[in-house]
Amino acid sequence: MNYVIESLRQLLGAPPSKPDPAQVLPEVTETYAEKRQQKLTREMLRAKEAERDAHKDRHKWRNRRWATLIIVNLLFLLSYYLDVQLLEGALTASRFIGFHFADLNSALQVMLAYKHLVLNLVIGTLTVVVLWWLLGGRTFCSWVCPYHLLAEGAEKLHLWLAAKGLARDLRFHRGVRAVFYLLFALLALLTGYTVFETLSPTGILSRALIYGPGVALLWVAGLLTFEVFVSRRAWCRYVCPIGITYGLVGLVSPVRVQYNVQNCHHEGDCRKICLVPHVLDVTIRGRATRIDTDIGADCTRCGLCVDVCPTSSLSFKIKGLDKAL
């Protein structure tokens, strides 16, 4: 229950809760005490990183994610141009070998705008709910969304420019994303028009890839430019309601990223590379209350932290199974 409550708080923009000393398990207290005596040096840490690189593919999950994202979006393109009717439509609404799929946020917008339910839309929505419940968190964002891949590249460019003083990183309160979530829902309900779908770079890019580019791509280019020079990941972090929708569905998913405090040396590389670093606050020394902690549902399951951790303190786990994926 604590996991669900904390995930909901973070999805709605609240900062991670500070640990209650009364809830810290004795074995965790002993672990922190032992680490204070170890005094791991920078050289020792770099040796562990070198050992990791020698025995572990540092980009395993990133490569899997990029491959999945590209393949899914190319399937739409190839199905359309080859007319094989394998995967019809776009990410917002599609049909895969006869099975209907509907993006959850798009389905919500349509239901609010038109104020009635269509059977195919209900079937497609339920199918996707089950799929993303199984995978959990905001998996859609990092494993399927085409804008995410572009924003990832824009972030790398932003960091390079920022290091040279050519870009700034303006930050907003994460709670504004929940405000936009309600705003887009109200606009659909009151206007009878799916306003968010007009602005969503996810839908714009998916349709442009399949049916050809249009003027709406200028909006996407503007968003990327803003993220490169002003505020990195601004759309995903502060505006897009899709993440909240999928995060809510994946609250109790069996697939989690799990943190083990015993192996961790708290060097902070995972938080530096994380797309939503607040979900990894538990990796800060003194924040864990139990040996193994599941990372919350606002996590995009991108796997970057799993790849970068030199001691495998972060790993993908399926609830009920001890073995890491």
Q: What percent of the chain has pLDDT over 70?
A: 93
Which class for 274: exposed (0-12), middle (13-18), buried (19 or more C-beta within 10 A)? buried
Report the pLDDT value the prediction gives residue 235, as an integer from 0 to 100: 95
In this prediction, residues 13-23 reach a mean pLDDT of 88
Q: Based on the structure, what is the number of domains in the chain?
A: 1
pLDDT tens track for 189-198: 999 888 998 9
Per DSSP, the residues of 303-315 read -HHHHH-TT--EE
| More confident: 263 or 178 | 178
Instruction: Tell me how far apart the alpha carbons of residues 316 and 325 are, in angstroms, rounded to a whole number.
Output: 5
In this prediction, residues 158-184 reach a mean pLDDT of 93
In this prediction, residues 271-279 reach a mean pLDDT of 91
pLDDT confidence band for 301 (50 / 70 / 90): very high
Domain residues for the domain of 267 are 1-325
Q: What's the whole-number average pLDDT of the chain?
A: 87
Is the pLDDT at 226 greater than 90? The verdict is yes
| More confident: 113 or 158 | 158
Q: What percent of the chain has pLDDT over 90?
A: 46
pLDDT confidence band for 150 (50 / 70 / 90): very high
Helices 104-114 and 242-249, axial angle in degrees (round to 10): 110
Closest Cα to residue 312, out of 270, 254, 271? 270
pLDDT confidence band for 49 (50 / 70 / 90): low
Category of 40 on φ-ψ map: left (φ > 0), alpha (ψ -120 to 50) or beta: beta
Instruction: Tell me how far apart the alpha carbons of residues 241 and 109 are, in angstroms, rounded to a whole number.
Output: 11
Report the pLDDT value the prediction gives residue 33, as an integer from 0 to 100: 82
| More confident: 131 or 203 | 203
Positive/negative CA dihedral, 77, 81, 84, 89 = positive
60: its two tokens = 């395993």
Is the pLDDT at 51 greater than 80? The verdict is no
298 close to 278: Cβ distance less than 8 angstroms: yes
| More confident: 84 or 5 | 5
| More confident: 147 or 252 | 147
Is the pLDDT at 48 greater than 90? The verdict is no
Q: Up-side HSE of residue 200: CA atoms within 13 Å toward CB?
A: 24
List of residues 6+ apart from 112 with CB closer than 8 A: 185, 188, 189
Report the pLDDT value the prediction gives residue 323, as an integer from 0 to 100: 66
Report the pLDDT value the prediction gives residue 126, as an integer from 0 to 100: 82
Is the pLDDT at 159 greater than 80? The verdict is yes
